Structures are given as structure tokens and as C-alpha cells.
Amino acid sequence: MTRQSGKFGNIAIGWIALFWGTASLAEPIQLDLYTQEFPPLQVQVDQQAEGYVVKFVEAVVEHASQSLSMEITDVHFAPWKRAIRNTQENENTLFFSLSRTPSRELEYQWIGPVSPYEVAIYRHFDGPNVSPNSFQDLKNFSFAAQTASNFEEMAREEGFTNIIPVNYGKVAIKLLRAHRVDFAPLVTSSYHYRMEQYGYDPKEFVEVVKVDKLCKELWLVTGNKTSQQVVEALRDSFDELKNQGKLADLMQQYQPDSEIMVRYRNAMK
């Protein structure tokens, strides 16, 4: 009897070990998401992560979890350097939204493009009334631009010399409104929100021309320490949901007059 009990006990222990081993294997992969505030792509409203890119990435992870168990631990709004460092140094860390450049190509695994990124030249409504065919046609006019920005670097490389450097975008708009410069560059997707944030009426300014060299897509990425299994699952779900129109639908839901973005705008005033 004792021998039989021992036999059954060993079987029971074996089943318990198998159960816990299987349970351990089934534990979801924990994903950390890092981003920066960039309306309407990614914002914080009432301490909750919002924005059409945030919601699309959440949908991608949820869809991918059907083939490979994974879940989001948290969405972190962090300074650029910290977000980049954590993405590169840790596995299963996602970052959005990042422009894809040759110098960055090997530093990340690129999952998919989440948003267009357009830089345009703006003037005050009673500023120079010109209709240029390209940005280069404005070479004889004056600009305000943030110091060491992509725009300032590119403009000087193109031979633009009349550029007033400023530390903050708000100062560039202030100079534009005071007619101390003719033009200033702004990101089109966040234009409406930045104007309100700066205390100006968005209708006071007019888009003149796109800066083609600075217009590109922004991407969802992860570091090179994340496994190929995770990356492929995310890429497959990304492509499937985007082809279904999920991202386009979310972009329409996060217009400036949408309920969630009105709440964001009111909180920024």
C-alpha cells in the first residue's frame, strides 16, 4: 500500500510540475511602450495614453497576442534620450514615432510606418503673398527656426542665409506674427494644437509650401534585442490591421474637434 501511494504521489508531482511548466511557458511577453507627446499622434488626457498612433499600436499588440502571447505593461511618455536608450538596451521595448534615416537603419528593427510627417512653411495671413513652386523659391526671404533643428541644418545646406535662430517654436511664431520674419516652419499634423498652446489663433497663419526633404513617414520600432518571433508577430498584425483600414479610421477619430482632442486642447490652455 505504501509503495502504491508513493507511485501515485510521484505521478501527482509529475503532473504538477508539468502544469506549472506549461503555465510558465504561457506567460505573456511583457511589452514596454515608449513615446513622446505629439498631438494628435500620441498625447496624455487625464493621465491616460491617447492619440491615433497609441491606439493603433495597442490594437496591433492585441491582435498579435492571438498568435504569440504578449501584452502591454505600460505606455511611458519619456524624454527623447531616455526613450531611445531604453529601446536600444532592452528587449521587448517599442518606441514610436521615429523617422527612418540611413544612420538609424541598423539601430532598430522597423515594424511599420504609423503616420505621415510633414513640415510646411507658414506665413502670417498678411505676410508675403507668394505662391512658390518649391521651398527653394523662398531663398530671398527671412525665416525663424529652432537652433540646430533639421530645418535649420537643411536650409543652410540649401544656401538659405537669412535665418533667425530661436530656442523655442513659440518664439518663431511670435516673430512671424510681429512681421520680423517672413516665414517659419511647422509640423502640419500638430499645427492646430501648437498654435493654441502658444496662445495664437490658428487662422492667423497660412500654409505656403511643403518642405519635401523633411516630409517622411514615422515608424513603430523596437531594439535589436527583441526576438524575431516577437517582431514578426507584430509586423504581421501591423500589416493586416493597416490593410483593413484600422489606422486610417483612427486618424479620422482624432481630429481637432473630436471629443478626446477637445479635452486635450482645453487642458493645454
User: Which CATH number fits the domain that encloses residue 240?
Assistant: 3.40.190.10
Domain termination site, one of 198, 214, 230: 214
Check whether residue 111 and residue 224 sit in a common domain.
Answer: yes
Instruction: Give me the long-range contacts of 246-253 (CB less than 8 A, separation at least 24).
Output: 246/56, 246/59, 247/52, 247/56, 247/114, 250/52, 250/55, 250/56, 251/52, 251/115, 253/52
Domain termination site, one of 170, 189, 214: 214
Count how many domains the chain has. 2
pLDDT at 244 (0 to 100): 98
Check whether residue 210 and residue 224 sit in a common domain.
Answer: no
Domain that holds residue 201: 119-214
pLDDT at 187 (0 to 100): 95
Check whether residue 136 and residue 195 sit in a common domain.
Answer: yes
Q: Has residue 136 been placed in a domain? A: yes
Q: Has residue 21 been placed in a domain? A: no
Check whether residue 44 and residue 130 sit in a common domain.
Answer: no
Tens-level pLDDT at each residue, the chain (269 residues) = 444 555 545 554 555 544 444 444 569 999 999 999 999 999 999 999 999 999 999 999 999 999 999 999 999 999 988 999 999 999 999 999 999 988 899 999 999 999 999 999 999 999 999 999 999 999 999 999 999 888 999 999 999 999 999 999 899 999 999 999 999 999 999 999 999 989 999 999 999 999 999 999 999 999 999 999 999 999 999 999 999 999 999 999 999 999 999 999 999 87
Check whether residue 238 and residue 199 sit in a common domain.
Answer: no
Check whether residue 167 and residue 129 sit in a common domain.
Answer: yes
Domain termination site, one of 189, 214, 239: 214
Check whether residue 51 and residue 109 sit in a common domain.
Answer: yes
Check whether residue 139 and residue 163 sit in a common domain.
Answer: yes
Q: Has residue 91 been placed in a domain? A: yes
The secondary structure of the chain as a DSSP string is -HHHHHHHHHHHHHHHHHHHHHHHHTSPEEEEEEE--BTTTBEEETTEEESHHHHHHHHHHHHHTTTS-EEEEEEEE--HHHHHHHHHHSTTEEEEEEE--TTTGGGSEEEEEEEEE-EEEEEETTS-----SSGGGGTTS-EEEETT-HHHHHHHHTT---EEEESSHHHHHHHHHTTSSSBEEEETTTHHHHHHHHT--GGGEEEEEE-GGG-EEEEEEE-TTS-HHHHHHHHHHHHHHHHTTHHHHHHHHT-TTSHHHHHHHHHH-
Q: Which three cell numbers stand for residue 186?
A: 511647422
pLDDT at 46 (0 to 100): 94
Check whether residue 35 and residue 111 sit in a common domain.
Answer: yes
Give the integer Cα–Cα distance in Å for 230 and 97. Answer: 19
